[in-house]
Amino acid sequence: MVSRTAPGEVWGFALLYLLVSGLAVWRSLPWWTPVYANTAWWIDYEQGFVKRGLVGEVLRQWELVPDAGWIRGVSLSLTAAVWLLFTCLFWRLYRQSGCDRGVAWLALLFAASSATLQHMVLDEGRLDMPALALVLLAMGAVHGLRQGALLFAVVTVLAWLALWVHEASLLLFIPPLLSWWVYRHGRAGWGWYGAFVACMALNMALVLGFGARDGGLLEQDFARQQALAGGWLVRESFAVVYAGSGQQNWAWVLERVMARDQLFDHLALAVFCIVPYGWLGGLWLRQLHRTGQARLLWVCVPALAALGLYAVAIDFYRWWAWAVFNLHGLTLLLCLCDRRACASLCQVLRTQGWAVAWLVLGSLYLGGLGWDVAYPLADLPWP
């Protein structure tokens, strides 16, 4: 049975959503300047093509000199745009569902989660946000255009650019994009999907084969950019696009993943994020199975592709954050397109108030997920 809200409660839920969103931003807005992440905006193509250099090259061509304040403004503006997009989609789903309380709980989960707004705000300055913006535009094209050459061209160009912004987009954002495309247009487009995958593979081959700069040029390149920036760039961040950094990353992963503090951090992540989300997802799968729609949940599985980056970089909780964000996004799109799937999820959320409350209150208390520390804003009592 659908649990609809009274007219007065609609505005109450809207105000609660705005309050929770504001608390989430306030909780995780960093009081420090993330200069390590910001340094990547100074990588450009002046000395030739290099991975992660697209944003810096655009800024160089426009003769813009990005300082920390400018980068913060752009990052927070992109975060605000993503929040506004999701807010509009949640409102549409809420009205479409007849003001079902379950949709309100789903929106509150998104607003409060340590992996969505809070992570974006806490980890501001990453190139993840420009890449995400490009992929969201591609997902909009999938929704608005008919299957064919034009859609293929638009989606491929936007995804190609996202990979040039940051090559991690191949696992962070491209799998959810492809999943949405297949769901939206069905099996008739397998030829286009295959061509898209081939283009992404070619792009990654170019990035991996020609995107690393000669390590011997690191010092002179960094000195030049450091002088232009005014002395605040971080050498270790700038060095990731130079030959030899990949092997160093793998060594760090092997060293860090089994460290004692990482085991405790993963335990906290499991208790406050993975287990409750998994519980809700399992109950939703059971509901979908009863209605003969269990296969729909496979639309959401590609969201977890971000976890494949565990093998190459130590930003473990950054990968979890984007996986959870992608799950929220694909779930929202699936509910907008399938009323029965939406009703099943709403029923789960209405009957599992303890899990929703645990996720919302726990996230607001702990703050956003970090990158190599699960909850850097919380004082967890680890031994």
| DSSP per-residue letters across 53-75 | -HHHHHHHHTT----HHHHHHHH
Q: What is the per-residue pLDDT for 35?
A: 87
How far from 148 is each of 189, 214, 240, 269, CA to CA, in Å? 8, 41, 38, 42
Single-letter residue type at 185: H
Reduced to 3 states (helix: H, G, I; strand: E, B; else coil), residue 33 is: coil
Single-letter residue type at 170: L
Q: Provide CB contacts within 8 A for 299, sequence distance 6+.
A: 179, 180, 183, 330, 334
Q: What is the per-residue pLDDT for 187?
A: 81
Q: Which residues are bridge partners to 311 per DSSP?
A: none
Q: Provide CB contacts within 8 A for 312, sequence distance 6+.
A: 246, 249, 250, 253
Q: What is the per-residue pLDDT for 9?
A: 77
Q: Provide CB contacts within 8 A for 308, sequence distance 6+.
A: 171
Contact 355, 345 (CB under 8 A): no
How far from 96 is each of 12, 87, 331, 340, CA to CA, in Å? 18, 14, 15, 12
* Helices then strands, each counted (H, E), the chain: 19, 0
The CA distance from 49 to 211, in Å, is: 6
Q: What is the per-residue pLDDT for 15?
A: 94
Helix (H) or strand (E) holding 341: helix 339-351
The CA distance from 6 to 8, in Å, is: 5
Q: What is the per-residue pLDDT for 171?
A: 97
Which residues of the chain have a pLDDT value below 50? Answer: 1
Reduced to 3 states (helix: H, G, I; strand: E, B; else coil), residue 382 is: coil
The CA distance from 142 to 92, in Å, is: 18
Residue that the structure tokens 């927070």 belong to = 76
Indicate the pTM of the whole model.
Answer: 0.94
Tokens of 79: 């975060």
Tokens of 309: 């980056």
Of 185, 28, 202, nearest to 117 (Cα)?
Answer: 28
